[in-house]
Amino acid sequence: MPRKLAAGNWKMNGLEQDVSVIKTLAERHAQAGIDVLICPPATMISACAGHGIAVGGQDCHAAVSGAHTGDISAEMLADAGATHVITGHSERRADHGETDADIAAKSQAAYRAGLKAVICIGETLGQREAGTTLEIIDGQLAGSVPDDATAENTVIAYEPVWAIGTGKVPTLEQIGEVHAHIRQSLVARFGDGAGFTLLYGGSVKGSNAAEIFAVAEVNGALVGGASLTADDFSPIVTALEQA
């Protein structure tokens, strides 16, 4: 069975004082029967690690080291205490021109460093309105997920681009359709694809988490803004515990 995962992506937010959020979450959910992950800025990974909540990076470079000013390798993330790294987030795809091949290379770098890759996929509003969502998902799965992906080293996060930070949420039927399609695709490709954890991301909050987690093949969430405070993220973790 896929493991349940409540993951938070802090993006470019957070200072040393915000380690208190990690500590509070650990206190509230120390006995949780699910996995809880926070991906803070790289500057905070070391400080956030070791408090009982898994910590991850938001991106990594495909190379181990080299002349890549400003970049961080998967090995550096692991050295700082990370256990996961997000690859292929739509903001990286859009703002930095990352391709599926780039994302596959970064995901393989995560495996090399012993990290679990949280690989993001999802369609834009134009693609959704054009009726090509599943075609886009198929292309991103094929191009972004390495051939050596397993349920132990990879999480798939479906994040419709048009729902991220907008307050817009797909219908439960739309979420269910895409998640079922992803599961079928993983089973067809990997055989044991039934074990992959599948996350939904896009304007998830405490008020809608329970109904989203009730959708078949939704094993958790990748949360943005609502993960920045313990009071906002904790209800989402609790909803997943109870799902």
Please write the tens of the pLDDT for every residue from 149-169. 999 999 999 999 999 888 888
Burial readout 134-147 (b: 16 or more C-beta within 10 A, e: otherwise): eebbeebbebbbbe
Q: Output the pLDDT for position 169.
A: 82
Question: What helix, strand, coil percent values describe the chain, rounded to 5?
Answer: 45, 15, 40
Of 89, 98, 123, 179, catalytic? 89
Q: Please say whether the beta carbons of 215 and 175 come within 8 A.
A: yes
Task: Give the closest residue to 58 by CA, choosing from 101, 90, 25.
Answer: 90
Of 91, 123, 159, 217, catalytic? 159
* pLDDT, tens digit (0-9, with 9 covering 90-100), for 99-112: 999 999 999 999 99
Active site residue 123: no
* pLDDT, tens digit (0-9, with 9 covering 90-100), for 18-59: 999 999 999 999 887 999 999 999 999 999 999 999 999 999
Within 10 angstroms of residue 235's Cβ, the number of other Cβ atoms is 16
Active site residue 159: yes
Q: What is the residue extent of each domain of the chain?
A: 5-242
pLDDT at residue 127 is higher than 80: yes
State the Cα angle at 136 between 132 and 142, rounded to 5°.
150
- Report the top-level CATH class of 5-242: alpha beta
The one-letter code for the residue type at 231 is: D
Give one word for 97, left, alpha or beta, with left for phi > 0 and alpha for psi -120 to 50.
Answer: left
The three-class DSSP label of residue 35 is strand
pLDDT at residue 16 is higher than 80: yes
Continuous segment of H or E residues that includes residue 56:
strand 54-57
Whole-model pTM over 0.85: yes
pLDDT at residue 137 is higher than 80: yes
What average pLDDT score do residues 198-202 get? 96
What percentage of the chain has pLDDT greater than the value 70?
A: 100
